[in-house]
Amino acid sequence: MHELMIIGAGPAGLAAAVYAARKRLKALLVSGDIGGQVNQTLGIENYLGYQFIEGAELIAKFESQVSQFPIDQKIGTRISRLGEITDGFEAISETGDGFQARVVLFATGKRPKKLGVSGEAEFAGKGVSYCAICDGPVFAGQRVAIVGGGNSAVGAALDMVRIAEHVDLVSLTPLTADIILIEKLVEASNVSVYAQYQTEKIYGNAFVSGIVIKGLVTGEEKRLDASGVFIEIGLAPNSEPVKDLIELNKWGEVPVSCANETTMPGLYAAGDVTDVPEKQIIVAAGEGAKAVLQAHRYLQQLAK
């Protein structure tokens, strides 16, 4: 049995791994991937020490720092359920493997929300994307639609007006993005904004060829040609593995104390999956570090 299991290898889990190693904890890092959301980030300008760094480069630096330490790693392993056992916890992977530890740091971050319309699942990876930053260049010179009205959607539209022939931005509500982003967007000549329009369906043959939208005020239905549809309607926490173990907040986030304790002794959480308000790399990394220091104190008390 490991002393500490860290679930998730985004900034929170990777920072936690460094702190765990420096406390000489027998630790296991289990994660679906290395880097989490940072893999979807083209450029970062707000991580201390770098005026600008690409997401992939920052993750490579994190990974190389972690790999200097004797931390057991199971990367490419997704946990479906975490349960209590005598003296600790057991995490069960999607393929049925079990991993045990005295204490757990849950740092599984967030994932893009689904729209829930017809055609979305069918055309995922065939024109439907949840990351304009990652997949945008594939649609160079083509017509695309972006669904959403917040900062991520308008930010994606700003990226795509430089790449695509035309961008249709479809938002269920009036745009809620920062005014500075909206002002920049309306300067573009190749964008149409459909605010207060519901996306009804995504259609196509082998690949996406368009979407159907309906005006909430006018009731009017429109078909918009699109080779790519980017769904940018926010993120949902990856908290399913602990949903039967602890009470989540109304957004599905894991509530934590300022020392990263959950309501269950021995279970800690850090980063975007928690109710800590700011979802940023530097915050997640700091929270991961704090969580391990608290977990280490708890393990020392157990040993007394």
Ligand X SMILES: Cc1cc2nc3c(=O)[nH]c(=O)nc-3n(C[C@H](O)[C@H](O)[C@H](O)COP(=O)(O)OP(=O)(O)OC[C@H]3O[C@@H](n4cnc5c(N)ncnc54)[C@H](O)[C@@H]3O)c2cc1C
Judged by the rule CB under 6 A, the positions of this chain that interact with ligand X are: 7-13, 30-33, 36-38, 40-41, 44, 46, 78-79, 107-110, 133, 238, 241, 271-272, 279-282, 284
| Cβ distance to ligand X smaller for residue 224 or 289 | 289
Task: Count the helix, strand and coil residues of the chain and give each as a percent rounded to the nearest 5.
Answer: 30, 30, 40
Write down the least CB distance from residue 93 to ligand X, Å: 8
Tell me the three state secondary structure of residue 115. coil
How many CA atoms within 13 Å lie on the side-chain side of 221? 4
Lookup: tokens for 17: 């791994």
Q: Which of 37, 45, 43, 33 is nearest to 8 (CA)?
A: 33
- Give CA–CA dist 195/276, Å, rounded: 30
Smallest separation (angstroms) from ligand X to the CB of 222: 28
Shortest distance (Å) from residue 77 CB to ligand X:
6
Q: Which amino acid would we find at residue 44? A: I
Spatial separation of the C-alpha atoms in residues 245 and 267, rounded to whole Å: 10
Smallest distance, Å, CB 197 to ligand X? 24
Cβ nearer to ligand X, comparing 38 with 182: 38
Sign of CA dihedral 178, 181, 187, 192: negative
Using the minimum distance from each CB to ligand X, give the nearer residue, 80 or 263.
Answer: 80
Which residue lies nearer to ligand X by CB, 41 or 204?
41
Q: Which is nearer to ligand X, 33 or 225 (CB)?
A: 33
Cβ of residue 129: shortest distance to ligand X, in angstroms? 12
Of 282, 266, 301, residue with least CA distance to 4 = 266
Minimum distance from residue 17 beta carbon to ligand X (Å): 11
Query: Which of 13, 19, 28 has its CA nearest to residue 294?
Result: 19
The nearer residue to ligand X, 264 or 282, going by C-beta atoms, is 282
